[in-house]
Structure 1
Amino acid sequence: MKTVLHLLTVSLLAGAAAFAGAAAQTADQDLDLEAIRARAAQETGEAEALAASARARAEQLAREAKSSANAAEVHGRRFAAQAAKSARPDPAQTFDFDAMVADAGAMAEEGMGEAPRFVAFASTSMPPAALRTMIDDVTRAGGVVVLRGLPNNSAKALTAALSKVARQGEQLTGVGIDPRLFRAFGVAAVPTYVVTGSDFDLCDGFDCVSAVPPHDRMTGNVSAAYALETFARGGGPGALIAAQHLARLERPNP
């Protein structure tokens, strides 16, 4: 507003100066006093129009700012309500089943470009405490826990089984479903631990059998740490990889 008033003052002074200068000249110089007065009036009108435009723009910005503030307040209340709801999840919905299935396919087909090198084969028929321990240890070591499929071909049954294992709000991102891995390694009993000696690719279809590289394997009710240590000390095809996963498992929590 100060700028507009300054422009208005300058315009008025300029007009007055022009008028005074014109009046000081002799008549034989053919000065058009009426034209000078008209020009001064025009400049005054332009300054007033500029000031009015600035006021209108300021009022518009004030309205927009108020509207944005109101919208932010509404969004904040909605976010707070959603956060409060998420903090009290339904025990039967402690993880997103659809997301787990989608992540399982990506993990098996795309994770690091090839199939996982450290795989723990599991089942929802395992005692919940044992399955929970396996998930914690294997994922911390950088491996994956794989299930063959849906119990009784029911997603609801799988959700119910894993809700006994998952913590509140947990997604179990280290757990996947992939029958191809079970077929590829011929796994018929769980828990089974496998560490491969090299990368390999899983075949695209769910009816095919992948060719697997040399690997170390252990079946039985043992811990992930025991299996990895046995593989690392055994000097087999998966010894070096097992040692790396074991070191990660034994690394102190940050």
Structure 2
Amino acid sequence: MERGLILLVAALVVYVSPSVDGTAHLSFSNDTQVNITRTGCGVNKLCVETPKDCDPTGKSSCLFASVVTSDPMPPNGTELSIELRGDSSGYIALGLTANATEGTTMLFICAQNNSDSGRFFFRTMQRNNTDDALTATETTVKEIRGMVNGSVIKCEFKVPNVNASNTRSSHAITFSVLLGTGPVVGNVPGKFNVSLDSGPLALSNPASNIPTTAAPSVNTTMPSVNTTMPNSAGAVQPHAVLLLLSVLTLSVMLRA
């Protein structure tokens, strides 16, 4: 039987310590869907997924995320509207990082707690990109909606005031997007296993990860011209030489 739990939150600061149940909720509603599709990918939302071009509405495995950005709001930054869908008996997560091999990743976790009848919960954590350690962190997240159906987890949420730069006036939102899954033991997320590293993407450009097709090259080299005339047209034939000599001789004789 499908078990759908919807989380509706106006706005909250998510802070979870590893030993505390961090389920943030105001209300639940059964049998309500979180609809996540590819509609608008590359046009008005940036999409990343694995396997490539998989269908988040289908029955096959698909780890999918989309990001829509708002206009920058000085001096706070940009708001991200995020959709996330994946298959896991523990959690699925989206991470934002400046460098996936060093520094840290801001991790947004949508999970189910199998020890509590597959109940949906949401957490934010910080991942150390060097040793994969996860620590609790405080991040403002709003309008969280989540749903669990067997092993399929879907969630939507908004993250305000995002800025990849330390300069508040720059409003840089170029990040590498990480998608992955992990286990949940009790109510504690385990190691984040990266399934996809997008590389640096400008999140404000929905087509930033779509390869562009190079225009065909134009050959500006002029073709070589053969200036050698064929023998039949340009060469002086032997009988023509003889005729010319005879005419010349005749002319000389008449003037003598």
Q: What's the TM-score bracket when you normalise by the shorter of the two chains?
A: under 0.3
State the TM-score, normalizing by the size of structure 2: 0.19
Whose radius of gyration is greater, 1 or 2?
1
TM-score by length of 1: 0.19
* Larger relative contact order, structure 1 or 2 (CA cutoff 8 Å, min sep 6): 2
